[in-house]
Amino acid sequence: MMVIESAGLTDVGKKRKGNEDALFLDDSLGLYIVADGMGGHRAGEVASGLVVETLGGYMKRLREHGDEEEPSDADETLSREANRLLTGIHLANWSVHRLSLENPAYRGMGSTVSAVLLTGTTAVAANVGDSPIYLIHDGSIEAIYKPHTVQAAYGALHHGMIEQQHLRHMLTQAMGTQTTVEAHICEVQCFRGDILVMGSDGLSDKVSPEEIRYVAVRNSPERACRLLVDMANQRGGDDNVTVIVVKMGPVGGGRSRIAGIFARFFSRLFGDGRAKG
């Protein structure tokens, strides 16, 4: 059995009036979520909060009620855990979309979501939008998410990335903007000593993957989160900054995932919202 040690931190940054990022950690579920909201007048804050609340709540109900909450339209090419995570994302997408239709103040709001579900020696990673997920293994860092941006789509078609900054965060998919969403999902093997790092673009815009790897490998999850947020803020802090670090170690080192009995949901500061971009 691997022991899981995790930590998370969110920060308003240096330029924004409010924090529209949200995060969720629950070691007992092996579930870790980052959401980055968008929309004015606090709508982004509402969207990201609803994403983590809905997805986290669904996964909790699965643990408590089992088959009663199982998805009825499972993809046979995916594991049961991957199907569960996808179903939770679809539920969260519909929750945000429905609220945006019911309340004119929230019209057009949306959010990214990046989620990891640990299942023994496997990590199921899923995302909508551009919030990054990295896996550090044997000293190397690898992205295990697919950015849903105009820049990435262009690069996939033309085998090269365009450099316009305004296209870098122009999303091709977001939670809640449409009735349905197509999340990217992958399942990867995890080993003792591996590290998962998740964040919002407020982190990845200011701190390179190699810098993230360097900090995560050399520090505890809590210390790594603090250092990475500080680095982003020291380099301008133009956006909200959120990071989760999850370390997988041998028995006897760190806090057991089984022993972690509570979820930590970090709320955002109240204030004016922003449009993503």
Q: What is the pLDDT of residues 186-211, one digit of tens each?
A: 999 999 999 999 999 999 999 999 99
Percent of the chain as helix, strand, coil, to the nearest 5 = 35, 30, 40
pTM of the model: 0.87
Q: What is the pLDDT of residues 68-83, one digit of tens each?
A: 666 777 899 999 999 9
Q: Which domains does the chain have, with CATH numbers?
A: 3-266 (3.60.40.10)
Write the Ramachandran bin of 13: left for phi over 0, alpha for psi from -120 to 50, otherwise beta: left
Average pLDDT for residues 236-257, to the nearest whole number?
78
**Token output for 234:** 């020291």
In degrees and rounded to multiples of 5, residue 2 shows phi and psi of -90, 145
Average pLDDT for residues 106-130, to the nearest whole number?
96
